[in-house]
C-alpha cells in the first residue's frame, strides 16, 4: 500500500475528553436500545446504536477493559474524516500512553484498537468504510512538545496535567530522561471531585462538572458566589499540590525551566500564582493529538 494513500489520524484518549487535531468531545458513550429519532452524534456499529458525548465515563484501570474507548475511537475517526471530506480511508491511528506505562500497556492498546482491519460503521447517518493500516503509539507529554524540543537549549521539565494523570518528564539534550519520568494519578478529575465534596459538605448542594470545567478554563463564572469561592479555593489548592510534587522530585520552581501542557496548563496559568519567566504554558488541549499525528507522519516519511 502506498504511504501517500494513508490518512494519519491522531487521537488523544482522555478520561474526560477525546481530542483529535481538530475535534474535542466528551469521553461518553451510551448504548441506545432502539433506533433513535435524531442522529446527531449517534454511532451505529454492528447493528447497535450508541450516543456519543454527554456525561463522561467513570475512570477504570485501563481503557481496554470494555468496548467504550473503541467506540469513541470510531466516533473520533468519523468526525475527523468528515472534516476532511472523506468517508473511505486507509487509516494510520496515532495514539498515546503515559511514558511510565508505555512499555507495559503499548501492545494491549495496539491489539485493542486494531482488533478489526476492515471496519464499516455509521456516524450521524453517514457510512464510513475504513481500513486500519497501522496503530502507532507514542508517549504522551513528549508528543505535546515535539515541535519545540529542538529549541530547548537547556534542561527543562514538561508537566502534562490531564484529566486523570499528571506526567512529569525532564528533557535533557533534547530527549526525555526516562529514568526520572513520573506519572501521578491525581489529575483534574481529582480536583473536580474535591470541589463537589466541599460543596456538599459546606453548602449541602451539588455542582455540575461542566460548570467546574468552565471555571477551570476561564477563571470566571456567573454562578452563586459561595460556590465560586469553593471552586476557586480548591483549584488553587490543586495547583499548589502540583508545585509540591515538582519540589518533591527535586525541581526548584524559581530556576527550573518548566512547561505546563494539557488541560491543566490553563489551570496552572490562571490559578497557580507563579509569574516567573522560567515557566511557560502550552494551553492547546489538542497538543498531544497534534503531536501523535506529527510523529506518525514523520514515521511514514522515513519509510518512503
Look up the CATH number of the domain holding residue 247.
3.30.420.40
Tell whether 272 and 297 lie within a shared domain. no
Tell whether 206 and 118 lie within a shared domain. no
pTM of the model: 0.91
Q: Record the cell numbers describing residue 126, joined without a space.
A: 453517514
Tell whether 106 and 158 lie within a shared domain. no
pLDDT of amino acid 3: 55
Q: Are strands 88-97 and 6-10 parallel, antiparallel or unpaired?
A: parallel
Tell whether 177 and 87 lie within a shared domain. no
pLDDT of amino acid 34: 84
Q: Give SS3 for 235.
A: helix
Other C-beta atoms closer than 10 Å to the C-beta of 301 total: 9
Task: Name the burial class of residue 267, with classes exposed (0-12), middle (13-18) and buried (19+) by CB atoms within 10 angstroms of its CB.
Answer: buried
Tell whether 164 and 194 lie within a shared domain. yes
144 in a domain, yes or no? no
For 209-225, write each residue's pLDDT tens digit: 999 999 999 999 999 99
Q: What residues make up the domain containing 87?
A: 3-139+288-303
Split at pLDDT 50, 70, 90, the class of 272 is: very high
Region 2-16: what's the mean pLDDT? 87
Q: Record the cell numbers describing residue 211, joined without a space.
A: 460548570
Q: At what angle do helices 225-248 and 264-271 cross, to 10 degrees?
A: 100
Region 89-117: what's the mean pLDDT? 94
Tell whether 115 and 131 lie within a shared domain. yes
Region 60-74: what's the mean pLDDT? 95
Tell whether 173 and 268 lie within a shared domain. yes
68 in a domain, yes or no? yes
Region 48-57: what's the mean pLDDT? 92
Question: Which residues, at least 6 apart from 87, have a Cβ–Cβ distance to it below 8 Å?
Answer: 81, 126, 127, 128, 129
Tell whether 127 and 221 lie within a shared domain. no
Region 154-164: what's the mean pLDDT? 93
> What's the total number of domains in the chain?
2
pLDDT of amino acid 4: 60
184 in a domain, yes or no? yes
For 75-84, write each residue's pLDDT tens digit: 999 999 999 9
Tell whether 75 and 202 lie within a shared domain. no
Amino acid at each position: 500500500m502506498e504511504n501517500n494513500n494513508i490518512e494519519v489520524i491522531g487521537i488523544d484518549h482522555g478520561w474526560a475528553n477525546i481530542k483529535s487535531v481538530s475535534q474535542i468531545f466528551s469521553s461518553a458513550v451510551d448504548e441506545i436500545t432502539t433506533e433513535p429519532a435524531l442522529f446527531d452524534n449517534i454511532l451505529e456499529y454492528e447493528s447497535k446504536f450508541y450516543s456519543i458525548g454527554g456525561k463522561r465515563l467513570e475512570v477504570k484501570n485501563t481503557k481496554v477493559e470494555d468496548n467504550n474507548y473503541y467506540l469513541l475511537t470510531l466516533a473520533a475517526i468519523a468526525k475527523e474524516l468528515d472534516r476532511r471530506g472523506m468517508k473511505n480511508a486507509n487509516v494510520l491511528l496515532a495514539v498515546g500512553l503515559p511514558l511510565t506505562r508505555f512499555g507495559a500497556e503499548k501492545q494491549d492498546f495496539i491489539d485493542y484498537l486494531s482488533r478489526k482491519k476492515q471496519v464499516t460503521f455509521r456516524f450521524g447517518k453517514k457510512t464510513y468504510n475504513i481500513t486500519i493500516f497501522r496503530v502507532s503509539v507514542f508517549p504522551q507529554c513528549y508528543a505535546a512538545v515535539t515541535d519545540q524540543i529542538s529549541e530547548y537549549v537547556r534542561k527543562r521539565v514538561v508537566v502534562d496535567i490531564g484529566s486523570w494523570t499528571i506526567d512529569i518528564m525532564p528533557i535533557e539534550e533534547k530527549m526525555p530522561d526516562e529514568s526520572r519520568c513520573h506519572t501521578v494519578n491525581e489529575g483534574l478529575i481529582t480536583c473536580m471531585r474535591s470541589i463537589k465534596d466541599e460543596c456538599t459538605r459546606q453548602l449541602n448542594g451539588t455542582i455540575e462538572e461542566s460548570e467546574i470545567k468552565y471555571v477551570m478554563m476561564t477563571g470566571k463564572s456567573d454562578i452563586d458566589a459561595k460556590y465560586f469561592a469553593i471552586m476557586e479555593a480548591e483549584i488553587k489548592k490543586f495547583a499548589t499540590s502540583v508545585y509540591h510534587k515538582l519540589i518533591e522530585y527535586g525541581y526548584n520552581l524559581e530556576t527550573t525551566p518548566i512547561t505546563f501542557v494539557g488541560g491543566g496548563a490553563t489551570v496552572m496559568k490562571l490559578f497557580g500564582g507563579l509569574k516567573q519567566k522560567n515557566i511557560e504554558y502550552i494551553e492547546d488541549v489538542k497538543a498531544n493529538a497534534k503531536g501523535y499525528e506529527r510523529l506518525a507522519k514523520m514515521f511514514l516519511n522515513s519509510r518512503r
